[in-house]
Amino acid sequence: MQDRNDQKSNKIIVFAGTTEGRLLSDRLCESGITHLVSVVSDCGKEMLEEHARRTILTGRMDEAAIMSCLKQHGFRTGDFLIDATHPYAVEATGNLRRAAVRSGVTYLRITRKSMPVVGEHVRQYETLSSCAKAVDHHSGNILLTTGSKELEQFCDVVSLDTISRTYVRVLPTEESIACCRRCGVETAHILALQGPFTADLNMALFRQYQIVHMITKESGAEGGFPEKVEAARTAGVTLHVLSRPADPDGVSLEEAYRMLSGMNWNDGRPRKVSLIGVGMGTEATLTEEARALLAKAEVLFGAPRLLPEQDFRQSFPLYRSEDILPMLEVHPEWREIAILFSGDSGFYSGAKAMAAALKEKMPEVSIQSIAGISSVAYLAARLSESYEDAAIVSLHGRNCNGQMGVLLDKIRRYRKTFVLAASTEEVRELTCRLKENAICAEIVIGCDLSYEDERIVKLDLSDDAWPEIDGKTTLLTLLIRNPNPEKRLLLPALPDEVFLRGKAPMTKECIRHESIRRMQLKEGDIVYDIGGGTGSVTIETALLHPTLQVFSIEKDAEACVCIRENMANHRCSNVTLVEGEAPETLTNLPEPDAVFLGGCGGRLKEILSTLQKKRNGIRVVMNIVTPETMAEWMEVQREMSVQGEEMVQLTISAFQRVGEHRIPQTRNPVTIVSFVL
């Protein structure tokens, strides 16, 4: 970087009470510009790294002290005093402004981007006094986060009872704690903590101290305001927000840097977003590539457990694109951005959705994904097991009947299945389903992998005892071994004898198979079987693939009992029985991809019209046995627009032995009609 001091001799002092002040100072250092930085306390000093271009001054200054400092360091007309103090530090700003005018130096006030918030649990106030008067009339504990300087003003307004139920969060300095004691705040109610504060930490304080009201300043993203809003909204805490003082003469951080350096903030600095897989979440499973990118990053985003425990210049406990992208838009000065994801960024990771959102909303941003160590790879290594021949299924956010059915099908057909689970409840449910489906398997559970309390537990399904796994454990990876996996039929076809029939009508074997074939089903399709009867078409369709969702619609109560029994016998977890008459029962069902019409009760036109309103392109297969149904179809066909109609008539003759002879027993011919609505 070229040394700007050779070209620009103006002296600069930055009063850095905020993140913006630290960022500006760091950028000046990068640009080779020598300057002074003034911070109030040792805490502020510790947040600034030593640099040859930066001299740090520590201590609070009034107007006279500021003027003395400027004189001591030789400031004169044309030099710069940068006010990057807190947006609510009205007194400090007044002192700096007056001292600059009297000393003849140029005064620049850096303003923070506003983050207004509204909602049912949000109250806005112009002053702390008006806020104090309002909360004084409410019951419940209060968390005051406006700092020790405003505490006296708050306590002068409220009653002793209100003070007794107020918890004060201040910096861990002797000055702040002494102020709390002077105002009569109990020692147990003084929360001396150094930020930044995550949403989870805010919520933990709410729970610990039974907080009902939180008083805060609208301090922007840099001041942890989004985390306060998120925590209050989640916990149902009323948020009392002090409006930010107007500052019409301020300039942005980028404008201030341009005036001081003659360069744009982002000159020569392309914007990069790194989607980083951080392994299990511990330092040990972090790759060197990820470590190097984290060292360069200006800002970090990620789930709370993934963010580094050590102080980082800026980090936010956010991991959803709808939360992160708005912050990137209002902070164009952030150029090196890291978003952290557990495990591997390309393995059941939120990195995929994040990359898609970034490409759509911010196409100018350069995106790179960094591979991490997945929990499956980690557990496989711990067990000296391979996983290239294993099935892998995630239940994270997908624990529904459909996904559990997919998992059971994988376990049934693979020797090894790795499963990502979010809770012990999911593991318990899985073991119950394995027992119900008579699948004999060995389960190995990896708990909190890579952490100090890592455990690998074996679970025997024949033993009713549940292994001791902490119910709070949320990082679970399973290996399920099935020594006798089933082989899938290449051309699945069930005989009629495997279905319970009762008095319900049943689509016979050959007709059933040809009808299902003509529906041209694909993985993940949604299928209606209208007029389910015994459920033979429903069951055989559902067994083709676990990703199919089959809705069996039947109005006859006895037939519904038969369908339920057949569903249980064939362990179909991807079937939903809908009791009632079509088309009324179809209204609230998801849009189908394919429909089998086994019986329509003389309401063919109504049913097809209802289907046509749902979507275009539905593949329909219908069985016609009687002349009346054929006449109904011919009439409907003339009135409705269908595509790709095909009609075939099948006559089946089953041979039966009579003495020494085999006599064909011809069944009624069935016409199979297929078309697209």
Query: Which has the minimum average pLDDT: 134-138, 507-511, 644-648?
Result: 507-511
| DSSP-assigned states of every residue in 436-485 | HTT---EEEEEESTTSTT-EEEEEETT--PPP---TT---EEEEEE-SSP
Q: What is the pLDDT of residues 339-392, one digit of tens each?
A: 999 888 888 888 999 999 999 988 888 999 999 999 899 999 999 999 889 999
Tell me, what's the pLDDT at 199?
81
Superfamily name with CATH number, domain 496-676: Vaccinia Virus protein VP39 (3.40.50.150)
pTM for this predicted structure = 0.51
How far apart are alpha carbons 66 and 94 in whole angstroms?
Answer: 11
8 Å CB contact between 70 and 81: yes
Residue-range domain boundaries for the chain: 4-109, 122-242, 270-373, 383-481, 496-676
pLDDT score of 309: 61
pLDDT at 444 over 60: yes
Asked if residue 450 lies in contact with residue 389, where contact means CB atoms within 8 angstroms, the answer is no
- Rounded-to-integer distance, Cα 84 and Cα 79, Å: 16
The arithmetic mean of pLDDT across residues 260-268, rounded, is: 77
Helix (H) / strand (E) containing 401: helix 401-413
- CATH superfamily, region 270-373: Tetrapyrrole methylase, N-terminal domain (3.40.1010.10)
Indicate whether 1 pLDDT > 50.
no
Q: pLDDT band for position 472 (50/70/90)?
A: low
Q: Can you give the pLDDT at residue 64?
A: 93
**pLDDT per residue as tens digits for the range 487-532:** 777 676 777 777 777 777 777 788 888 999 999 999 889 999 998 8
In this structure, which topology does domain 122-242 adopt according to CATH?
A: Rossmann fold (3.40.50)
Better-predicted residue by pLDDT, 453 or 129: 129
State whether CATH 3.40.50.20 applies to domain 4-109.
Answer: yes
Phi, psi of 460 (to 5 degrees): -100, 120
Span 305-324, average pLDDT = 78
**Secondary structure E strands in 262-394:** 272-277, 299-301, 315-316, 336-341, 366-370, 391-394
Tell me how far apart the terminal alpha carbons of the chain are, to the nearest angstrom.
67
| 319: confidence class by pLDDT, cuts 50, 70, 90 | confident
The pLDDT value given to residue 490: 64
Closest by CA position to 542, among listed 553, 527, 531: 527
pLDDT (tens digit, 9 = 90+) per residue, 562-600? 999 888 888 788 899 999 998 999 988 999 999 999 878
**Number of DSSP helices (H) and strands (E) in the chain, helices first:** 22, 30
CA atoms within a 13 Å half-sphere pointing along the CA-CB vector of 34: 11
Phi/psi-derived region of residue 79, left when phi > 0, alpha when psi is between -120 and 50, beta in every other case: beta
Task: Map tokens 């097991």 to a residue.
Answer: 385
Provide the pLDDT for residue 3. 46
Superfamily in which the 383-481 domain is placed by CATH: Tetrapyrrole methylase, C-terminal domain (3.30.950.10)
Q: Which residue has the higher pLDDT, 119 or 548?
A: 548
pLDDT of residue 98 exceeding 90: yes
Mean pLDDT of 619-631: 89
* pLDDT averaged over every residue in the chain: 85
Domain 122-242 identical in fold to domain 496-676: yes
